[in-house]
Amino acid sequence: MPDNTFEVDGVNYTNIADAQNALKDNSTLIIGNGTYRQGMTVRASNVTIQGSTNTHFIGGAVGGKATFVIQGNDTTMEQIECSGVTVPDQNGACIRQEGKNLLLKYVYFHDSEQGILANDGSGKIQIEYSRFKNLGKAGRAHAIYVNKADRLEVRYSKFYSSKDEGHEIKSRAKETIIEYSEIASLTGNDSRLVDVPNAGKLVIRGSVLEQGPNSANNQLLGYGYEVNPVDPAITHSVEITDNIIILERNGSNHFLGISNSTQSVPKMVTQNKFVGTMNDVALYQSGNQFYADRAAYGLGPFPELPSIGL
């Protein structure tokens, strides 16, 4: 389709406001190549937003929130690049998810205060084949921040270099499932790679986790630090299996931070390869492999990451 144009259900528009107003339930919005500096609100449900090869939103923020404020349910977004989002509250996001259920594929969100901020009650958030880089602000905005949702699922995606002591992933969802992805501090001054402050079900498998030299927090993962006691109405468990975990923070490294309120939660940490040193190594001797450093594992110098085929 032509550059700098919008198509809603087969009808072409030349400005984003008209395209936004044309959206109705079950609409498909196709956005042409171009640089766009305005955002939009999606009020309808079951909407698909499809970018083109080079569809880039820069700096647009609707209502002091985000480039895309999604109020409808069951939204799908594909092939959108978004960057440069800042707002007075310091939590400007590419997406503010206010409705239920969001599926993202092939998006690239970077160099903003936040990639995704999902409100309480946002259902299921699914992220696949996507990239998040250089996101975070003031220790309270993160690459993605999912509040009290039902489920967060991340697969085949890359989270790199969160900044200003943000986490790469912060999730208060009942279930947080991360599979076949790369989550790496690299040179970023992040906090934790994954923080699950309300506990719940946490699964991380088949992924690369790298805690970088500039990480502010010595815990690579955090679990249950903002609940005491835990919610008895949901299942709480930790399963971390078949990952490559690299710890190279300047100072002490602690793999998994567990709050006092979650000490009795079932935890399975096995079939992982740990590279580097950590002060809780004695807890994970069974079923895991340990390597003193990158050279011992056969990995090149920082910042090279092991390949898992992404």
Which domains, ranges and CATH numbers included, belong to the chain? 37-297 (2.160.20)
Do 128 and 159 meet the contact criterion of CB atoms below 8 Å apart?
no
What confidence score (pLDDT) does residue 291 get?
Answer: 98
Q: What is the DSSP string of the chain?
A: --TT-EEETTEEESSHHHHHHH--TT-EEEE-SEEE---EEE-SSS-EEE--TTEEEES--BTTTEEEEE-SSSEEEES-EEE----TTS--EEEEE-SS-EEEES-EEESSSEEEEE-TT--EEEEES-EEES--BTTTB-SEEE-S-SEEEEES-EEE---TT--SEEE-SSEEEEES-EEE-TT---S-SEEETT--EEEEES-EEEE-TT-SSSEEEEESTT-SS--TTS--EEEEES-EEEE--SS--EEEEE-GGGTTS-EEEES-EEEE--TTGGGG-TT-EEESSHHHHT--STT-------
* Cα distance between the two ends of the chain: 29
**Longest distance between any two alpha carbons in the chain, whole Å:** 62
Global pTM reads 0.97
pLDDT confidence of residue 215: 97
Supply the pLDDT for residue 148.
97
What is the pLDDT, as a whole number, of residue 1?
85
pLDDT per residue rounded down to tens, the chain (310 residues): 899 999 999 999 999 999 999 999 999 999 999 999 999 999 999 999 999 999 999 999 999 999 999 999 999 999 999 999 999 999 999 999 999 999 999 999 999 999 999 999 999 999 999 999 999 999 999 999 999 999 999 999 999 999 999 999 999 999 999 999 999 999 999 999 999 999 999 999 999 999 999 999 999 999 999 999 999 999 999 999 999 999 999 999 999 999 999 999 999 999 999 999 999 999 999 999 999 999 999 999 999 999 999 9
pLDDT in the model for residue 36? 98
The angle at the Cα of 219, spanning 217 to 222, to the nearest 5 degrees, equals: 110
**Amino acid 196: pLDDT:** 98
Q: Please, which residues have CB within 8 angstroms of residue 232's CB and are 6 or more apart in sequence?
A: none
